Structure 1
Amino acid sequence: MRIALGLLGALLVAATPAKSADDPLLRPIASEHAKQWLMPQPPTRIYGNTYLVGFGGLNVGLIKTRAGLILIDGAVPQAVHDIEANIRTLGFRLKDVKLILSTEPHFDHAGGLAALSRDTGATVLSSAPAAIVLRQGRSNADDPQMAWLEPYPPVTRLRTVRDGEAIRLGGVTVTAHATPGHTPGSMSWGWRSCEGKTCRSVLFGSSLNPLTAGDYRFSDPAHAVALANFRRTIATVRRLPCDILITAHPGQSGGDVKFAKLLQSRDPNPFVDPEACRTYADAAATALDKQIAKEKSGAPS
């Protein structure tokens, strides 16, 4: 009996998975601060082939095509396993993710890209300015918030896209829209999503929040080009085709409220709002004007 029990114990030890080794692509970033973004929420179809697989304070998008999946953003490294679990919960396989689109190269949206690209085999697509940051895993001095930003795992499987470039996969066309301002490399992504014969224009929009950190001032003459680009971006977003707006942080466009309503009822779909992009752009213009006025008044950031 002792021999049998000893053998059973040995088998149980052998069957127990070893503690996972440290994974440099999954090391948490700003753990306490990130908690405000990572409230769990169920992976949910928003409209047609468009899904959300992220969190209460941080959107991660998913588009289903005939040739695989397109993921949008990667949150922080410690969120990767949850994103992957959400993809599986919807009945999809990680290996079906073919492309990952990057909205902005900050750690809260790009920190998980390296791990997600590795785990899926997908290529990350970004603007050329963002690609510089993604490859090095840290922002440069031209980023208004560089003084606050955390470094993150560099992205190696990466391809740049131009403003207005069309990315095609499995019958779906996603158009890249350069939207610099919040970061110099910000990119928004637009596509058509259909339910039956009713199709809607969807935009996954980058942040338009004019946050600054340290000594950065949009009103500094040295940043005149950046300020002009920001104002141009706001004008661009205002006129983009946009029946459904999903923003990188849902709270910036009322997406958190819309998501809660969607879980209660899909008819009418709370995300369908042809004025959403105009409203988003108008709020950004007001915020930018207030930021400029504060800087000129000498008030602390």
Structure 2
Amino acid sequence: MRRTTRFCIRLTAAILPLIAPAHAADDPLLRPIEPDYARQWLSPEKPHRLFGNSYSVGFGGLSVVLIHTRAGLILIDGALPQAVRDIESNIQALGFSIRDVKLILSTEPHYDHAGGLAALSRDSGAPVVASAYAASVLRKGGADPNDPQTSILAPIAAVTKLRIARPGEAIRLGGVTVMPVATPGHTMGSMSWRWRSCEGRECRSMVFASSLNAISGDGYRFSDPAHRSQVAAFRKSFAIMRTLPCDMLITAHPDQGRGANCRSYADSAQARLDARLRKEAGAKP
């Protein structure tokens, strides 16, 4: 009997690693989105301190930020579903656990930044915090017919545990205050986030900026009169971004903000929008 028991234990230990990956692959919240195209975004990057209580737990092409507070962790953005296990491993490498995450802040409901939110919310038990507009899109699995990119967007797992963030209404946890900053345009629900991190007596104003890039699916024209509100939203967001206290800028895609501050980030985005509008004006409808 003892020999049989020991054999069963050894057999279980041998086959368990073979079973676990298959189970993980079947997890509907972890199913890869655009795996070939997205691979460039998920180039590995070691988790590291940005400043004070703020850490990077993301990738070479997608930013994911962790803020340590006395009452737990705040996570900003969720990358793609196939990135979730790496994000959780990065959190663990810093000495924390995914279960320490108490709030997950979302910049936008596109699959490259929100695809992993449902799984991260499930694994942590934390709500996803987003603008009212973005929350309605996240509940529907990313579906938004008014999004300029709607024709080229992959669906995501619906997020069910949500909390609404209103511009100017502080998000507080464990002595840390994060302020939501509405920056619509790229999506009408886009939200940037700002907070302060300190090392001793030195403190810095941190900004995690949503994308301000005016891109779209084929056939969409920002110059169309029906899309004036989208262009107006962009211009308002540029103006807001220029005014933010901004000692350290983190952009949703790191290459968009490399070497930039909030003002230059907004200036570059405005230049791209203006160039797009000039191109559309010179093209036949």
The normalised TM-score by structure 1 is 0.89
User: Which of 229, 233, 238 lines up with 1:234 in the alignment?
Assistant: 238
Amino acid at match of 2:279: K
Measure, in 1, the Cα distance between the counterparts of 2:40 and 2:252.
14
The answer for the alignment partner of 2:48 in structure 1 is 44
Measure, in 1, the Cα distance between the counterparts of 2:153 and 2:8.
48
Question: CA offset at residue 164 of structure 1?
Answer: 1.3
User: Which of 9, 12, 16 lines up with 1:11 in the alignment?
Assistant: 9
**1:126 and 2:111 correspond:** no
| CA shift digits 1:189-233 (9 cap, x unpaired) | 000111111111000000011101122211110011111111000
Amino acid at match of 1:44: H
Amino acid at match of 1:279: S
The answer for the alignment partner of 2:272 in structure 1 is 287
Cα distance change on mapping 1:12 and 1:155 into 2, 3 Å: same
Question: CA offset at residue 8 of structure 1?
Answer: 5.4
The answer for the alignment partner of 2:32 in structure 1 is 28
Q: Is the 8 A contact 1:49 1:65 kept in 2?
A: yes
**1:80 and 2:84 correspond:** yes
User: Which of 133, 143, 146 lines up with 2:147 in the alignment?
Assistant: 143
User: Which of 166, 183, 186 lines up with 1:182 in the alignment?
Assistant: 186
Question: CA offset at residue 138 of structure 1?
Answer: 2.2
Question: CA offset at residue 25 of structure 1?
Answer: 0.3
RMSD: 1.6
User: Which of 89, 105, 109 lines up with 2:109 in the alignment?
Assistant: 105
The answer to which of 167-176 and 206-215 deviates more is 206-215
Identity %: 60
| CA shift digits 1:118-165 (9 cap, x unpaired) | 000111000011011100112312111111100010000001111111
Question: CA offset at residue 7 of structure 1?
Answer: 6.5
Measure, in 1, the Cα distance between the counterparts of 2:181 and 2:166.
8
Measure, in 1, the Cα distance between the counterparts of 2:109 and 2:283.
29
Amino acid at match of 1:170: G
Measure, in 1, the Cα distance between the counterparts of 2:234 and 2:62.
22
Amino acid at match of 2:193: W
Amino acid at match of 2:35: S
Q: Is the 8 A contact 1:240 1:277 kept in 2?
A: yes
Measure, in 1, the Cα distance between the counterparts of 2:153 and 2:140.
13
Q: Is the 8 A contact 1:245 1:276 kept in 2?
A: yes
Amino acid at match of 1:251: D
Cα distance change on mapping 1:244 and 1:157 into 2, 3 Å: same
The answer for the alignment partner of 2:198 in structure 1 is 194
**1:297 and 2:282 correspond:** yes
Measure, in 2, the Cα distance between the counterparts of 1:216 and 1:140.
14
Q: Is the 8 A contact 1:106 1:139 kept in 2?
A: no
> Number of matched residues?
278
**1:254 and 2:258 correspond:** yes
Amino acid at match of 1:142: N
Measure, in 2, the Cα distance between the counterparts of 1:192 and 1:66.
15
Measure, in 2, the Cα distance between the counterparts of 1:299 and 1:32.
34
| CA shift digits 1:237-277 (9 cap, x unpaired) | 0111111000000000116xxxxxxxxxxxxxxxxxxx710
Measure, in 2, the Cα distance between the counterparts of 1:163 and 1:92.
29
Unmatched tracts of structure 2, length 5 or more:
none
Unmatched tracts of structure 1, length 5 or more:
256-274
The answer to which of 212-221 and 33-42 deviates more is 212-221
**1:222 and 2:220 correspond:** no
**1:276 and 2:261 correspond:** yes
The SS at the match of 2:178 is strand
The normalised TM-score by structure 2 is 0.94
The answer to which of 149-158 and 130-139 deviates more is 130-139
The SS at the match of 2:189 is coil
